[in-house]
Amino acid sequence: MAAVTPFGERLGLVLEGGAMRGIYTAGVLDVFMEEGILADVVVGVSAGALHGCSYVSGQKGRSIRFYRNYRRDKHFMGLYSLLTTGELVGSKFCYEEIPMRLDPFDEKAFEAAPMDFYVTVTNLYTGKAEYILCDELRLDSKMKVIRAGASMPLCSRPVAWNGGLYLDGGVADSIPYAKMPDFGCRRSIVVLTQPEHYLKKPVAMAPFRMAYRRYPAFIEAMHRRDQVYNTEVCAVEQAALNGEAFLIRPSRAVPISRMERDIEVIDTQYELGRRDAAAAMPALRRWLAD
């Protein structure tokens, strides 16, 4: 049963990224699918987009399953992939082998779903976020968009799409809650992957200035990322207090690296997402009914 919102308004769902930390979101979304919480518009950032597409296609358990099965495969991520492909995460393995053969993505269900699915990407030329509607995720088409949105700076090659050059959407807009009214959503559920009181700190800029010296706007976006992120968190927290957003985020911090391989750590993060979503469900249903 789908979630019902008053006055026929569109319900938004915003999914923060965070590399392997994002498996928390997969846990939340699996509970949403079990409970029939279905948004009208889903906007995913980086790992949020990777897990969000399985939510749209209705494939409960798929995200945690492929981490359990393939996290130690040398083609998945790590030094072997970096040395052989120039990317820390193996694009061919993750965006072709897994979704097409090893753990098939349900493209038909995705295209038939009554949801709009947007992937957030950062344009290297402008340094600005773009929100690309993905009405399909076929291999030689908009699968490139989701790959671009999850391509971490310094770890991945930029992805070309429709004349642009793109990387991780989290550089320019990690939490695109402010964009949701443009998609017709007065209220949105927001899933963060950092616990309360977390503040993003500035990063050392020297590697980015060297790697992206041809893209000054992108460097500037990277330089401002911590300020933008912290401002966005404050805005979402205020919106939650006002009843305009419903916020779900980790109830405790789990030490997990961006390239975590320990299945116990990964499972702990995933199960935390499930527990937090289940605990929030009564309040979420009341919020949806208001």
Q: What is the pLDDT of residue 133?
A: 98
**What is the arithmetic mean of pLDDT over 106-132?**
98
The per-residue pLDDT for 8 is 52
Confidence of residue 6 (pLDDT cuts 50, 70, 90): very low
pLDDT in tens, 248-273: 999 999 999 888 889 999 999 999 99
Per-residue pLDDT, 28? 98
Token couple for 97: 């082998």
226-to-7, 161, 198 alpha-carbon distances in Å: 37, 27, 11
Euclidean distance between CA atoms 244 and 283, whole angstroms: 14
The percentage of residues in the chain with a pLDDT greater than 70, rounded to a whole number, is 97
Residue 148: both structure tokens together: 């671009």
Residue 2, pLDDT above cutoff 50: no
Mean pLDDT, range 217-235, rounded to an integer:
98
**pLDDT number for residue 234:** 98
* Cβ contact 127:215 at 8 Å: yes
Mean pLDDT, to the nearest integer, of 122-136? 98
Rounded to two decimals, what is the model's pTM?
0.94
50-54, 93-97, 102-106, 233-237: the lowest-pLDDT one = 93-97
Give yes or no for residue 3 having a pLDDT over 60.
Answer: no
- Residue 89, CA atoms < 13 Å, CB-side half-sphere: 28
Q: What is the pLDDT of residue 260?
A: 86
Tally of CB atoms within 10 A around 69: 13
State the pLDDT at residue 91.
82
Q: Is the pLDDT of residue 5 over 50?
A: no
Report pLDDT digits (tens) over 147-188. Answer: 999 999 998 999 999 999 999 999 999 999 999 999 999 999
Given a contact cutoff of 8 angstroms between Cβ atoms, the answer to whether 243 and 186 are in contact is: no
pLDDT in tens, 42-90: 999 999 999 999 999 999 999 999 889 987 787 777 777 777 777 777 7
